Chain A
Amino acid sequence: MAEKGKKMIYYILPVLSIGILVVLWGVLCVQKPDIMPTPAAVIKKIADITVNPISNATLPVHILVSLGRVLSAFAAACVFGIVLGILMGWYPTFHDIAWPVFEIIRPIPPIAWIPLIILWCGIGETSKVIIVFIGAVVPIVLNTYSGIRQVDPMLFKAAKSVGAGDRATMFEVVLPASLPSIVAGMKTSLSTGWMCVLAAEMVVARQGVGFLIVRGMDSGDSALILSGMVVIGVVSALITALLNRAEVKLCPWRTEQR
């Protein structure tokens, strides 16, 4: 019974905290009704744009457009980032060559690349995907690299002790041993990617959630701005929940007991 009560708490607490947030928001609206739309107004707006298109697209289409950009950049970042991370983690010479360049490029925010990318690639889809890619690839490279460097030396000895060659050691020991770290990097990467796509869309786009926010600003429609923000939060939370599920599937030995 106590166990069941404990479990219930985990369902009640999140609802409670979100409830408090909405109430605080409501209180703020009463204070400044002219600049802050009420929660009800935002929900109404979301319902409205879900059926009535803005810039030829309804809300679900805007969300899908943004997600499409993130996912294609994320897929490219996974392939590129994991390969680069493995090379840097496994081959000291490659690390010595690539690491300094990576360290210089890494701290430059993806947003700082926007002007240059637009000059190079125009304002089409490619430039947005590249901007997201720049943001998404960094955590994957870092986590793959450090995952490989932190493989317990004991496991190398264990692999060698049962006759595993270099290839088997790489694919059957080093990679699985670093997988939790790589997956953690992928999680960070996807949320970073989601932030970058909104930044890119706010600068130049005709569709996407970032575009909705800019459109709200241009037309003085604060309910639209907040709708965009709420959607960003919700989608991001859903992505995280999905990734946590994927993590349990990918690394079942790391399942944390709750």
Chain B
Amino acid sequence: MDTKAKVRVRNLTKKFGDLLVLDDISFDIKKGEFVCIVGPTGCGKTTFLNLLVKLLEPTSGNIFIDGEEADPKKHNLSFVFQEQSAFPWLTVEQNIRFGQETKKRPKHETDNVTEYILDMLGLKEYRDRYPHELSASMEQRIVIGRSFAMKPDLLLMDEPYGQMDLKLRYYLEDEVIKLQTATKSTVIFITHNIEEAVYLADRCLILSQKPTTVKEEVKIDLPHPRDVASKKFIELREYITEQIKWW
């Protein structure tokens, strides 16, 4: 295993009573890597993610960031959910500043990062608007901006585009790649959409049926922006789809 890994997951196991949901999962993620996690429906992807951000405690095993046990107080673990989670009482700009301010980042740095993110996401002209005044996709971009603004050690995204149409998804996915490249963030992205996974990831982790383990890792060595119609892309997509099948 890579000793320079940014994130190391070791023997992660979760039981709910007698039900074994995650069974001894181990893998590494390098700094700045974009990892997609795919798997059959109900395989415990969300449980897995909740463990990673410490919203749940594992039954055994652990997660290390830079060699230390992951701790939300010490590390920047950021999370984008499928549901809208912008704070409705804060404007777009205040939402993006929120995490930075609770982490007591110096003001000038917060100012700079906030400007950068607003600019990058094309939200500058909406900075004083409230989330409810904007569309659902805009609101999700606020949350994504808020997360990247944290300069997270690890950013976890749980089907953030679950409810959006195809065209918008490609647009937002390109945006995420741009942000990730610019901020050199390490990202774990969970999706059930394999095309999305192949479009985004440097590496795909394929999970098995319950009790969940990592069935296979697939490296995706294609340049961005990716061509969804290219032969290699389709091959990878079909291969991963085949691996997920449990019937």
Contacts and interface: CB of A to CB of B under 8 A. Distances in A.
Interface of A: 154-155, 157-165, 168, 172-173, 176-177, 179, 251-253
A155 B86 CA distance: 8
Contacts of A158: 79, 81, 85-87, 143
A168 B101 CA distance: 10
A155 B87 contact: yes
Nearest to A167: B102
Interface of B: 53, 55, 72-73, 76-81, 83-90, 98-99, 102-103, 130-132, 143, 146-147, 150
A162 B102 contact: yes
B163 to A, nearest CB: 14
A164 to B, nearest CB: 5
A160 B87 contact: no
Contacts, number: 68
A168 B87 contact: no
Contact of A172 (B79, B81, B102, B143): B102
Contacts of B130: 252-253
B91 to A, nearest CB: 8
A154 B150 CA distance: 19
B72 A172 contact: no
Q: What's the dominant secondary structure at chain A's contact region?
A: helix
A182 to B, nearest CB: 12
A160 B98 CA distance: 12
Contacts of B76: 163
B55 A157 contact: yes
Contacts of A164: 99, 102
A161 B77 contact: yes
Contact of A163 (B81, B86, B89, B103): B103
Nearest to A176: B89
Contacts of A160: 53, 55, 72, 79
B98 A253 contact: no
